[in-house]
Amino acid sequence: MVISICQAVVTYVPLLWFVRVTDGMPDPAQRDLLMRQEAFRQTGGQVALTATEQKLDAYLHHLKEKEMSAAQFPPAIHFFKAKPLIQKSSIFKMLQKMPKGAALHIHSSSLVSVEWLVKNVTYRPHCYICFTWDNSVRFLFSDRQPFPRWDCFYWQLLETLRAKIGDPTGFDNSLMQHLTLFTDDPDGEYPNQDVVWEKFEKAFIAAAGLITHAPVLRDYYYKGLGELQLDNIMYLELRSGLSRTYELDGTIHDKGWCLKTFQEVTKKFIEDHPDFLGARIIISVHRALSVSAVKAAVKEAIQLQKAFPDIVAGFDMVGRENSVGTLWYFREALSLPAEMGVTLPYFFHAGETDDEGTDVDQNLLDALLFNTTRIGHGYALAHHPLAKELSRKRNVAVELCPISNQVLKLVSDLRNHPAAVLMSEGHPMVISSDDPALFGTTGLSYDFYQAFVGIGGLKANLGTLKELAVNSIRYSSLPPHLKNTGYAMWQNKWDAFIVDHS
């Protein structure tokens, strides 16, 4: 990286030493230097842009000024209402074309758009549906009439049901509503975090019967990689519980089968799309489990990582942090790998909360004490100075998922997202989408838009975008030689993107 004389001065001279209290007009030159020093510290502040990149940066700045002064500013509005505005944005269109590197925080149950699930998967033969007492749905593929279950008394063959219903489009739309949080009236439907999380968990359960059908799972992974690649993403780290997968005759496959399938599908996808780098799995378990169940899950994850070292990246705990066990609660389970003398990298969700000072709020520090490789969300990190320092020193990146934080009601106007502090300090960070299908997004472009335009504001520039994209490879779980391949592939794509936009 080329460092100019000005940058060198800004970096190495302790400017605050020069700052004196004066009564009169502050020294404009000193003011200018201080402003440069601040800009130098932000995410991407040390990225040297080429002349062509600087031209594009100036254009982006101009576009951003225009969007920020418009009557409606998308990052200030709930994403469900802002989505059509974002789709019209010239910045967004450019972000879609931009090579964004890797998606490091996506959950497998929400990888593929619900439109595909409904329009493609539910139209496949042998698909049964059941409407539950709590206004949800379950799906099941079966070669015979399924038996009643505690949550599902009456299964209907979808093909037959559709033939009876006069309005297939309306019916399909109603099915989609069960599988996503997306709605025209987010404030009315989701008045608080409890309500939105309840719908969130329900949608996951509703989708499970479709996704865990073995033939669907193959197509689902392939389609998911395809949606990412269309959004110019070249690598994925997918959090997955590796749910038991079933065949039409009721045969059940184990977790190893799931990983093998994932491996095969990824390989096939790379054969078909040589500019895609690959995908790995972060095995995740739900926080609602008991300590002994998590102990078993940790042991199993160790075994699976041994059996699939190229595919299994590590381990995480998922589910709403506020409702169930904290990391400290599971400390006996989480210290097992160290006790057994093995390494199981952790990728903990932590600090996805606005309940300051509670036990849950301590998850951040505990995640770091358990040597987490990255921090999922880290929404609370800005007010944990020590955890922040530790994460910075150890290069533990925060996986920032702006739209998820807004939809799950941690912040309404994204300009007020605490990650603005982290970005202004150049804290290690990557951008991700968490649950794209549930939030009605695809790929990472929507979240990049919110981070770049809303959280970063006018001072976030092309250097910021470049650093965020490079970070996604830098902070991935890939071994060094594959990271180098990733950097080289990304740089080629980036150069082409700059040429296309100059």
In whole angstroms, how far apart are CA 318 and each of 115, 240, 244, 363? 25, 10, 17, 12
Q: Has 300 been annotated as catalytic? A: no
Phi and psi, residue 227, nearest 5°? -65, -35
Residue number, 321 or 434, with CB nearest to Zn ion: 434
CB of 490 to Zn ion, least distance (A): 24
Could you give the CA distance from residue 430 to residue 309 in angstroms, rounded to a whole number? 24
Kindly tell me which of 109 and 245 has the beta carbon lying closer to Zn ion.
Answer: 109
DSSP string, 135-154: S-EEEEE-SSPPPPBTTBS-
For residue 218, CA distances in Å to 119, 212, 279, 280, 306 come to 17, 10, 14, 15, 23
Of 67 and 434, nearer to Zn ion (C-beta) is 434
Give the per-residue SS3 of 74-88. Answer: HHHCCHHHHHHHHHH
Among 434, 446, 489, 494, binds Zn ion (CB under 5 A): 434
Nearer to Zn ion, 94 or 318 (CB): 318
DSSP string, 226-240: HHHHHTTEEEEEEEE
d(CA 467, CA 169): 43
Nearest approach in angstroms of CB 461 to Zn ion is: 28
Number of residues forming the site for Zn ion (CB under 5 A): 1
CA distance 309 to 367: 23
Stretch that binds Zn ion, among 135-143, 194-202, 430-438, 454-462 (CB under 5 A): 430-438
Q: Determine the Cα–Cα distance for residues 410 and 359; give it in Å rounded to an integer.
A: 17
Q: Dihedrals φ, ψ of 420, to 5°?
A: -60, -35
Nearest CB to Zn ion, comparing residues 121 and 375: 375
As a whole number of angstroms, the distance between CA 295 and CA 274 comes to 39
Q: Which tokens is 74 given?
A: 């998308």
Q: Which of 53, 237, 321, 352 is catalytic?
A: 352
Amino acid at 190: Y
Query: Which span sits near Zn ion by CB under 5 A: 48-56, 109-117, 211-219, 427-435?
Result: 427-435
Residues 6+ apart with CB under 8 A from 420: 455, 456, 457
Nearest residue (CB) to Zn ion, 74 versus 378 = 378
Q: Is 126 a catalytic residue?
A: no
Candidate ranges 147-155, 260-268, 433-441, 454-462; the one touching Zn ion (CB under 5 A): 433-441
Q: Minimal CA–CA distance to 482: which of 303, 237, 272, 268?
A: 237
> Which 76-135 positions form the footprint of Zn ion (CB under 5 A)?
none
Q: What does the DSSP 8-state code read for residue 48?
A: P
Tell me the residue ranges of DSSP E strands in 250-373: 252-253, 278-286, 312-318, 349-350
CB of 147 to Zn ion, least distance (A): 34
* Shortest separation between residue 201's beta carbon and Zn ion, angstroms: 13
Out of 213, 377, 384, 427, pick the active-site residue: 377
Kindly state the tokens that stand for 4.
Answer: 């100019």
Helix pair 480-500, 462-474: axis angle to 10 deg: 160
**Encoding tokens for residue 57?**
């940066």
Helix (H, G, I), strand (E, B) or coil at 430: strand
Which listed range, 27-35, 51-59, 95-103, 431-439, lies at the site for Zn ion (CB under 5 A)?
Answer: 431-439
Q: How far is the CB of 291 from Zn ion (least distance, A)?
A: 22
Nearer to Zn ion, 434 or 467 (CB): 434
Name which of 403, 439, 437 is nearest 118 in CA terms.
437
The closest residue (CB) to Zn ion is 434
Residue 53 sits at the vertex; the CA angle it makes with 48 and 57, to the nearest 5 degrees, is 100
- Piece of 44-52, 146-154, 174-182, 434-442 that binds Zn ion (CB under 5 A): 434-442
- Smallest separation (angstroms) from Zn ion to the CB of 309: 24
Binding mask 15-54 for Zn ion (x = CB under 5 A): ----------------------------------------
Name residue 87's amino acid. Q
Shortest spacing between CB 228 and Zn ion, in angstroms: 16
Least Å distance, CB 107 to Zn ion, is 6
Would you say 91 or 281 has its CB closer to Zn ion?
A: 281
Q: Should residue 316 be labelled a site residue for Zn ion when binding is judged by CB under 5 A?
A: no
Closer CB to Zn ion, 240 or 424, in the complex: 240
| Closest distance to Zn ion from the beta carbon of 75 (Å) | 20
How far apart are alpha carbons 398 and 378 in whole angstroms? Answer: 6
Question: Catalytic residues, which ones?
Answer: 352, 377
Interface contacts to Zn ion, rule CB under 5 A: 434
